[in-house]
Amino acid sequence: MKALIKNNYNFTNQSNHYVGKVRDVYSVGEDLLVMIVSDRLSAFDVVLPKGIPYKGQVLNQIAQHFLNATSDIIPNWLQDTPDPIVSVGKKASPFKVEMVIRGYMSGHAARTYKTGGRMLCGVTLPEGMKENQKFPEPIITPTTKADVGHDEDISRESILTQGIVSEADYVQLENYTRLLFQRGTKMANEMGLILVDTKYEFGKDSEGNIILIDEIHTPDSSRYFYQEGYDERLNNDEDQKQLSKEFVREWLIENGFQGKEGQEIPFMSDEFITQISDRYIELFESIVGKKFVKADVATIEKRVFDNVEQYLKNA
């Protein structure tokens, strides 16, 4: 199976090219972005050496599904998807924070809790909670949006004190975050899943309106549990059956890697790569409720270029 790891296109009227951990973003003209979702896999803010076949297609098509399903809550950047791994939309000036919202004591929150921490991003965590237990109310735990290196936890108070986001805008970002999480939770429940936590990124368009940007509710930005068996596993202190890339993080931790200086990325076998790919496809089919149709990847680099160029020609 072939994976798209690197790309370096030169599209018509291209003005800039930004390479992120997973996405390559091409600026075209003054107000258009072409986002190519690669098959790269990032964990602990490190891009792993091997790509995951079909991961880019899964992420792009799930994001498209949820952007379309939440456009009544907040406008978003997406205009079209000319290729299974490509989204095209309007530019925005991004806020320098990511809005993380957590409905359950899992992942980073649980790791903090186990060390005795009872404060996360300025939010007090209740005493006596189990790992993977539902919070009384979802909590918002923002992070800084780092151009290079690690994103860092930050509190609402620090965001406002440092002037990273104005108070009026931040109140709106919190409101949108809660509404989007409510919608995502409802859609997940309808498919027999629990949306555990997720993150949203926002920006302002050329007219100064706040819009939703990037991906939403994908396995790269979200954690899902299966509803079936959740209570039993929680009561028995067992790990939840989940659909996210947390199992990749857990595998890396077990093999001595957490992205820290001096640590080496463990070898990833072809069998493990296929397992990760299958997990991503499973999530697509579970959350979207449709069978995943694998795109032809034999000439994926040429396919992407031709589809984007055709779109730009007709735009």
Give the C-alpha separation, 216 to 71, whole Å.
Answer: 12
Question: Could you give the count of Cα atoms lying within 13 Å of 212 in the half-sphere of its Cβ?
Answer: 28
pLDDT for residue 14:
97
Rg (CA), the chain: 19
pLDDT for residue 81:
97
- CB distance 194 to 225 below 8 Å: yes
CATH architecture of 14-91+268-314: 2-Layer Sandwich (3.30)
Domain ranges, ordered by start, for the chain = 14-91+268-314, 94-243
Give the C-alpha separation, 106 to 247, whole Å.
Answer: 12
Give the C-alpha separation, 33 to 17, whole Å.
Answer: 10
Distances (CA, A) of 102 to 36, 192, 222, 223: 28, 19, 10, 9
Q: In the chain, which ranges are continuous DSSP H helix?
A: 55-69, 107-114, 156-161, 167-190, 230-235, 246-254, 270-288, 300-314
CATH architecture of 94-243: 2-Layer Sandwich (3.30)
The predicted-structure confidence for 169-217, as pLDDT tens digits, reads as follows 999 999 999 999 999 999 999 999 999 999 999 999 999 999 999 999 9
In this prediction the pTM is: 0.89
Percentage of residues in the chain with pLDDT exceeding 90?
Answer: 89
**What DSSP state is assigned to residue 125?**
P
At 2 the three-state DSSP class reads: coil
The predicted-structure confidence for 120-143, as pLDDT tens digits, reads as follows 999 999 999 999 999 999 999 999
- What is the DSSP track for 234-281? HHTTPPPPEESTHHHHHHHHHTT-SS-TTPPPPP--HHHHHHHHHHHH
Q: Which residues contact 135 (CB under 8 A, 6 or more apart)?
A: 102, 103, 104, 105, 126, 129
What is the arithmetic mean of pLDDT over 14-27?
94
